[in-house]
Structure 1
Amino acid sequence: MTLIYKISPGKDWQQAEARGRFSGAPVDLADGFIHFSAADQVRETAAKHFAGQEGLVLVAIEAEALGEELKWEPSRGGALFPHLYGELDMSAVRWVRELPLGADGAHLFPEGL
């Protein structure tokens, strides 16, 4: 099983859970797909796009559960990033964890990631 990751404000994620699907953050809606990161990309994503933000959650999604709507496409520096062309159904979510800030202002990721 391949896990991909979404960083989201906790309140936005709670609303998505209540709806049973995640349609995307404003940047996702503007780009026409939901942005995700692979395990080796998610720390850089947090530092680049969420620096210093509190109240975030890290969501792990099973990539294979997303089917053909998930595309791995070149982005930052030519690296392939996972993009979902559709809504994220909560059945593909494997876990959700808080993404707190450490004393140095960087986000603290779960062990093993």
Structure 2
Amino acid sequence: MKGAFPMSVIYCLCPAFYWENFRNAHEYIPRDYEQEGFIHATKGDDLLIKVVNRVYKNFTDELLVLVIDEKNVTAEVRYEQAKDGNLYPHIYGPLNTNAIMEIKQMNRTKNGWTIG
């Protein structure tokens, strides 16, 4: 399904059990928002796979990826360089859920995570 989404798509990873708290909400706020001060996101399938296999390497529960149209995010989105040298979109405020275009399940294989 590559190329099916607009160039303005960014991704946000979320454990399925946590997403249940926001399924019918107008805004999404991740668990680490208070500590971080922003919502971590990524752009592009390759970078998403890199991040999920680093951050969620030992995670065994169901994991979702929120497919977000960056143009519809009402909070400020800043691209900032991380320690790994890559630029990542950071959302500085709650994520309005109407910016979420789709929610996909991540699949865990013996070689790591893949997009479902």
Aligned partner of 1:74 among 81, 101, 105: 81
Aligned partner of 2:68 among 44, 61, 68: 61
Residue 43 of structure 2 aligns with which residue? Answer: 38
What stretches of structure 2 of length at least 5 have no aligned partner?
Answer: 1-5
Number of residue pairs matched by the alignment: 108
* Counterparts in 2 of 1:79 and 1:108: CA distance versus 1, 3 Å: closer
Q: After the TM superposition, list the runs of 4 or more consecutive aligned residues in structure 1 that deviate by more than 4 angstroms.
A: none
CA contact (8 A) 1:52 1:101 kept: no
CA-CA distance at 1:68 after TM superposition: 6.0
Q: Which has a greater percent of helix? A: 1
Between the aligned residues of both structures, percent identity stands at: 19
1:21 is aligned to 2:27: yes
Question: C-alpha root-mean-square deviation of aligned residues, in Å?
Answer: 1.6
Q: Which has a greater percent of strand? A: 2
TM-score of the pair, normalised by structure 2:
0.83
CA contact (8 A) 1:22 1:88 kept: yes
> Equivalents in 2 of 1:109, 1:29: separation in Å?
28
